[in-house]
Structure 1
Amino acid sequence: MSSGGFLQRIGRSEAANGLTMISPTAIYAILLLAAPLVTVFVYSFMADGPAGSLIADFSFANYVKIWTGKIYRAIMLRSLWVSMAVTAVTVILAYPVAYFVSFNVPPNKKALWLFLITIPFWTSYLIRVFLWKVILGYNGVINSGLLSLGIIDEPLTSLNYNVQAFVITLAHAYAPFAILPIYVALEKIDRSLLEAGQDLGESRLMTFWRVTLPLSMPGVIAAILIVFIPTIGDYVTPDLIGGGKLPMIANMIQVEMLKQNHKAMGSAIAVSAMLIVAGVTLIFLLLNRRFLKGQK
């Protein structure tokens, strides 16, 4: 077979047609996603020069400074702790809601409940953060209510500008993201398995512990990842709720990149944050794979 005939045959194949269809999207994704990531990765090994210039002195100096410097480590550990706390609170509170909708709400009303759960998406994320700043503020709703009830004599100063305020705000913002995947996992559970467990003498609590919870773990792990990944890089909440006093990784990147004009150091911090997220994500993906194997 001649080379020309071979190329014509390849050009008429389904694989070639498929590649032709997806190539514009693939090129677009590469330009918008891969290219910036590669640029940041290359910048992270350079050195910062005067007036925001970059010196092509490829080394691990930026990473050494980040992972050995007390300030950088403290901010990264704070970001990791806040993200883990937000994820734990969000998933723990989201599971009962998803369970109630899946097992207690009539089928003809489940769509309405899911619609109500998504109502927070109707407003801007920034507006929701501002609302929590008003609620938790010195003259906010909580302090005003406690003062009017006579429970406190003066407004509490511990409600805002702290890590606890971060957790509350972010848990509320990402609650729908946790409820929906858990609900989907619960809906896939065969109800006959639960009935069989109770027929064998198990209580409802033990049936939940031994059957429902393990079968819903893929949804729980998905909810954990959906909440954890964006919260560790959240920029708005620490800046507004924390008043800039408790910066996280994203705030540190902003300072290095824009205020200090240190593109190399900012890129190294960004890559370090991505490595942390990738490590945690890999752990939960392995757990998810284990649960999926256990269900077979």
Structure 2
Amino acid sequence: MNTGRLSKEARQGLITVSPALTYALILLAAPLLTIILFSFWTQNFLTIDRTFTTANYAEALSDPLYRALMLRSLRIASFVTAATVILAFPIAYFISFHVRPDKKALWLFLITIPFWTSYLIRIFLWRVILAYDGPVNGTLLGLGIIEEPLSFILYNANSVIITLAHAFAPFAILPIFVSLEKIDRSLLEAARDLGEATAMTFFRVTLPLAMPGVLAAILIVFIPTVGDYVTPRLVGGSGGTMIANMIYVQIFDLSNRPMGATLAVLAMLTVTITLAWFILHIRFWVHLSDRVGGGVAGLALAALAALVDIAIVRWVFVHGPDWFGPAGSLGVLAAIMGGGAILIAIFLPKGRWGI
């Protein structure tokens, strides 16, 4: 009798979620499968040759231009994510710990004000602000800080980083704030009662408990910035072109939809592998920090390990084809990133940071 009742509830639940599930499959899964399918075809002038081939992937992985654009996209997205999260954390911390409870809603409301205007309008505003004769250069010239306008803040990667960091700041503040709000304040009081300094209480209690929000902010910012198209197009110039701009060129300017689809698939795979590698290596870096007792020495060791790991991966990505060939460099890169991540996942359990 209970089984029948459960089956009826299951059917009702399936009926309830089926419209949303069907909607997601049609608008998300179907286009994704179409892109993957297109990547194995080739463009034959104005027609699509549907013969299965991996030639597009071979060309995309061996062409230094595509590799350079993908590396630049990862680098810009990394800088944007780091700047956004580092600047967002103090704001979220201030609202959570130093603003009266009845005023927190007002502060969160003010944070969402940038969303009241179009994303495109905000990009154009930054284009005006960072212009050769814009407010930034005008103010610095007026104060006598510089003798001629700065040329490195517009139409390059720097302008893309500044614009994207401003655009995605609320996306980083909100998840960090939610994570900080969940922290039991009695834990902080216990740490202070035991004689822990304010700074060490933050690093040993507050930051580890807030790490889920920090990771959520990293994911929310990093994933869309890698594939951003509008900002590099309007303020990036030739030095700020990213992989999404090349995908647009392949599909619309060169009418090579299979190659554009191939670059899109490779971009998605690259982002997935990079994030998995990064999150698991955070666990390894935190483990190293804890082995030496944390504190300044632990942070220094973790930072050194992070720099070494990132430098190795970057060297293989950039110089690997010259040493190992296109296919060999991918094998070496997969062994380093995938193998290391698997070993960390197997032998290092989640620590006190929840990673």
- Cα deviation, residue 293, structure 1: 7.0
Whether contact under 8 Å (1:218, 1:292) holds in the other structure is no
Q: Which moved more, 1:99-108 or 1:278-287?
A: 278-287
Is it true that 1:280 corresponds to 2:287 in the alignment? no
Structure 1 residue matching 2:183: 3-state secondary structure: coil
> Which residue is equivalent to 1:268?
262
**Cα distance in 2 between the residues matched to 1:148 and 1:295:** 50
Cα 1:60–1:106 change in 2 (3 A) is same
Q: Which moved more, 1:14-23 or 1:187-196?
A: 14-23
- Cα deviation, residue 242, structure 1: 1.4
- Alpha carbon RMSD of aligned pairs, Å? 2.2
The one-letter code matched in structure 1 to 2:30 is A
Q: Which moved more, 1:163-172 or 1:245-254?
A: 245-254
Whether contact under 8 Å (2:157, 2:239) holds in the other structure is no
> Which residue is equivalent to 2:67?
73
Is it true that 1:237 corresponds to 2:239 in the alignment? no
Q: TM-score, normalised by structure 2?
A: 0.77
**Cα distance in 1 between the residues matched to 2:28 and 2:141:** 51
Structure 2 residue matching 1:146: 3-state secondary structure: helix
> Which residue is equivalent to 1:62?
56
> Which residue is equivalent to 2:18?
23
> Which residue is equivalent to 2:41?
46
**Cα distance in 1 between the residues matched to 2:68 and 2:7:** 58
Structure 2 unaligned regions, length at least 5: 284-344
User: What does residue range 77-156 of structure 1 map to in structure 2 within 5 Å?
Assistant: 77-156=71-150
The one-letter code matched in structure 2 to 1:39 is T
- Cα deviation, residue 116, structure 1: 0.8
Q: TM-score, normalised by structure 1?
A: 0.91
- Cα deviation, residue 154, structure 1: 2.7
**Cα distance in 2 between the residues matched to 1:219 and 1:232:** 20
Cα 1:134–1:291 change in 2 (3 A) is farther
- Cα deviation, residue 44, structure 1: 0.3
Deviations 1:215-254 (A, max 9, x none): 1000000000000011001001100111355321110110
Whether contact under 8 Å (2:212, 2:354) holds in the other structure is no
User: What does residue range 125-274 of structure 1 map to in structure 2 within 5 Å?
Assistant: 125-274=119-268
> Which residue is equivalent to 2:331?
none
- Cα deviation, residue 104, structure 1: 0.7
**Cα distance in 1 between the residues matched to 2:30 and 2:85:** 34
The one-letter code matched in structure 2 to 1:38 is L
Residue of 9, 13, 20 corresponding to 1:14:
9
- Cα deviation, residue 20, structure 1: 1.5
**Cα distance in 2 between the residues matched to 1:295 and 1:76:** 30
The one-letter code matched in structure 2 to 1:233 is G
Work out the percentage of aligned pairs sharing the same amino acid.
57
> Which residue is equivalent to 1:35?
30
The one-letter code matched in structure 1 to 2:95 is V
> Which residue is equivalent to 1:3?
none
Deviations 1:98-133 (A, max 9, x none): 011111111111111111111111111111111111
Question: How many residues end up aligned between the 2 structures?
Answer: 288
The one-letter code matched in structure 1 to 2:125 is L
- Cα deviation, residue 10, structure 1: 8.9
The one-letter code matched in structure 2 to 1:69 is D
**Cα distance in 2 between the residues matched to 1:251 and 1:101:** 38
Deviations 1:47-70 (A, max 9, x none): 11112x211221221111111110
**Cα distance in 1 between the residues matched to 2:279 and 2:35:** 26
Structure 2 residue matching 1:58: 3-state secondary structure: coil
**Cα distance in 1 between the residues matched to 2:158 and 2:172:** 19
**Cα distance in 2 between the residues matched to 1:136 and 1:268:** 35
